[in-house]
Structure 1
Amino acid sequence: MNNTAMFKLTYGLFVLTAKDGDKDNGCIINTAMQVTAEPNRIIIVVNKQNYTHDMIMKTKEFNVSMIDTEADFELFKHFGFQSGRDVDKMSDVSFSRSKNGVAYLNEMVNGYISGKVISTTDLGSHTMFLADVVDGDVLSDYESVTYSYYHKNIKPAPQPVKKKGWICKICGYVYEGEELPPDFICPICKHPASDFEPIQ
């Protein structure tokens, strides 16, 4: 099988936010979609290693901010390349709060949707959350960023590397060494060894 066929599926990119007590957090996800209109429901799929995942499991509430084409790579680095367990991701970003008290971004997004979780499905490495839509608004007229747009227009091109190792096709992380362990998980984007290729 040619695994790159999976890259032809269309995905959006989103900042998923949650709040647990006084703690706000957010992460980048690529799976959020409306599944029914009446009742208005969406699903999100979140990697279990993300701190935001644990917050949603506990509180059952979240917001999804839809990233638009005005976004820069710093937004993806800020929410995707570090953990909320180690840093306060919301300390230096502009955000507001929706009716559920959860933050949503004010910049580089064209809207947000608030969800109230009604069920979860264990997908192994990820959890799928089914949620009722309880709030939302349009914030700009810019187009939403797709995964393809991100790779073509936002993500910097990988720089030539002279080391022996493996490079993540998703985020560009480099694993140094002759052999990549088959169970290796990228520490940046959480993708498996199958998304790495040898450095030429």
Structure 2
Amino acid sequence: MDNSAFFKIGYGLYVLTAAENGKDNGCIVNTVIQATNTPNRLALAVNKQNYTCEMISHTKQFNISVLCEGTDFNMFKRFGFQSGKDTNKFEGFNDVKRSENGVYYVTKTTNAYFSGNVTNEIDMGTHLLFTADVLEAEVLSERETVTYTYYQDHIKPKPEEKKAAKGWRCKICGYVYEGEELPEDFVCPICKHPASDFERI
């Protein structure tokens, strides 16, 4: 199977936020779709290793902030390259508001947000698939939504080539695994993608 074919599917990029027991958290996701419009319902897939996933599974509430093309790499580093289990991702970050469900949404370089109430949860192995009723939705700007392709081409820094580097590089975030053989069950410690998303260097 050619796993690179999956990169041809169009994706947006979003900050998924949740709150539980006075703790706020968020992560970057790329799998959000409008499932129905009568009623308005979203479906989203979230990696089980993300603390945000655990929080949503408990509280059944979340917000989605739709990132737009003006987003810089620091947003992805803040919400995508560290764990909320041991980091306060909102520390020093003031570009947020709380919606009626009490969860933050991001106001900087976003063009819309949605508040969701989970109606169903499906175990997909590495991910949980949530379906949710939309309780709130608001347009924040008219800027274009950042796509995964735009992120790869214009936002994500290009990895520096090391002389005589040997190992495997994550095609998603650039993390380098040093070693001749990459374990089949290896998961990137940065972006949580599997071994199939690594290339030999």
- Shorter-normalised TM range: over 0.9
SS of 1:55's partner is helix
**1:59 Cα offset (Å):** 0.3
Task: Give deviations 1:153-178, integer Å, cap 9, x for gaps.
Answer: 11111210232111001110001111
**1:104 Cα offset (Å):** 0.2
Normalised to the residue count of structure 1, the TM-score between the two structures is 0.97
**1:26 Cα offset (Å):** 0.1
Task: Give deviations 1:91-116, integer Å, cap 9, x for gaps.
Answer: 22220000100000010111100000
Normalised to the residue count of structure 2, the TM-score between the two structures is 0.97
SS of 1:77's partner is helix
Whole-Å Cα distance in 2 between the matches of residues 173 and 38 of structure 1? 42
Equivalent in 169, 173, 190 of residue 188 of structure 1:
190
- Give 1:179's aligned residue: 181
SS of 2:34's partner is strand
Whole-Å Cα distance in 2 between the matches of residues 102 and 50 of structure 1? 17
- Give 1:167's aligned residue: 169
SS of 1:66's partner is strand
Whole-Å Cα distance in 2 between the matches of residues 48 and 41 of structure 1? 21
Whole-Å Cα distance in 2 between the matches of residues 161 and 47 of structure 1? 31
SS of 1:190's partner is coil
Runs of 4+ in structure 1 displaced over 4 angstroms? none
Whole-Å Cα distance in 1 between the matches of residues 21 and 97 of structure 2? 16
Task: Give deviations 1:127-167, integer Å, cap 9, x for gaps.
Answer: 00000000121111110011111111111112102321110
SS of 2:199's partner is strand
- Give 2:145's aligned residue: 144
Q: Residue 105 in 1 paired to residue 122 in 2?
A: no
**1:2 Cα offset (Å):** 2.1
Amino acid at match of 1:41: R
SS of 2:84's partner is coil
Whole-Å Cα distance in 2 between the matches of residues 192 and 21 of structure 1? 31
Identity, % of aligned positions: 58
SS of 2:174's partner is coil
SS of 1:132's partner is strand
The equivalences for 1:1-200 within 5 A come to 1-93=1-93, 94-162=95-163, 163-199=165-201
Whole-Å Cα distance in 1 between the matches of residues 141 and 195 of structure 2? 38
Aligned length: 199
Whole-Å Cα distance in 1 between the matches of residues 41 and 16 of structure 2? 16
**Uncovered stretches (5+) of structure 2, i.e. residues with no partner:** none
